[in-house]
Amino acid sequence: MDKQTLEACERRIEYTFRNDFWLWKALTHSSNKGNSRLSNERLEFLGDAVLGMVVSEHLFTRLKERAEGELTKIKSRVVSRAMLAHRSKILGLDTCISVGKGMLEGDELPISVMANVFEAIIGAIYLDGGIEHAQKFILDKLSDELDEAIANQDRGNYKSLLQQYAQREFTSTPAYRVVSDCGPDHDKAFLVVTLIAGQRYESAWGRSKKEAEQRAAELTYLALLATAGARSTAPAGHPVPAVT
C-alpha cells in the first residue's frame, strides 16, 4: 500500500496519523496473503469495543429518560453491519482497503469487509491518538445514523413520546392503570387509562396490557398536542378529577 493511498484515506476520515503503521494495518484485509501479518482483524476487535462504549455513553447521556431496552435497540441499529458498511462506502474506504484478488471478483466488497474496516479504523485511531480522537471520529461520522436510529425508535412508540412530553410539560412520568378487562383467560382484552400527575387522560382497549398502554398513550399524546395547539383560541375546559 503506497503513501498516496494512506494520505487519501486520512483526508476521507479527517484524521492524520502520527504513526501511519496503524492506518496501514487497519486497511489490510486478511485475504491479502502478501501482508497477512498486517491483517486488520485485531484492530477490528478493539474498534468494535471502543465503538460500543462510545455509542453507549452517548445514548446514555443524550437520552436520559430512556429505558435500557430502548437504548439497546437504538445502539444495535447504529452499530449494525449494514450501517457501518454504508458509512464506510460513503467515506470511500472501499478504494483504500487492501484485499486479496479473490475479493475483487464482484462489483462490491462484502458488507462484512466494509463494516470491519470501519471498526479497524476506530481501533487504529484509538491506538494512535487516544479515546478523545476515536470518540470524535465515531460521533462525527455516525451522527446521521444516530439521529435516524433515535427517530425510528420513536416512530410509533407513543409511550416514549408521551413520557418525554409529560416530563417536559408536567414534570411528571405517565403511569398506566388497568380499569377493566373482559373475555376468557386465554383471550382477554384490557382497558387501560393513562395517568399523569394524578390526572386521568385517555383510555384504550388492547389484547394485552402492553398493547392497551401503547394505544392509550397514543390517544393521550395526540390529545395533549391538539389541546396545546388550540389553547390560545379555545376556552379553558373543566379540569379532570384526580384519580384516588
Give the active site residues: 48, 119
Please report which helix (H) or strand (E) contains residue 201, including its range: strand 199-206
DSSP designation for 10: H
Q: Residue 62 corresponds to which amino acid? A: R
How far, in Å, are 3, 17, 94, 153 from residue 9 at the CA level?
10, 10, 10, 33
- Give residues with Cβ within 8 angstroms of 23, minimum separation 6: 6, 9, 10, 17, 121, 124, 128
Comparing CA positions, the residue from 106, 146, 138 lying closest to residue 121 is: 138
Cβ pair 10, 28 in contact under 8 A: no
Q: Residue 12 corresponds to which amino acid? A: R
The b-or-e profile of 213-236 (16+ CB within 10 A means b, else e) is bbbbbbbbbeebeeeeeeeeeeee
Return the CA Rg of the chain: 25
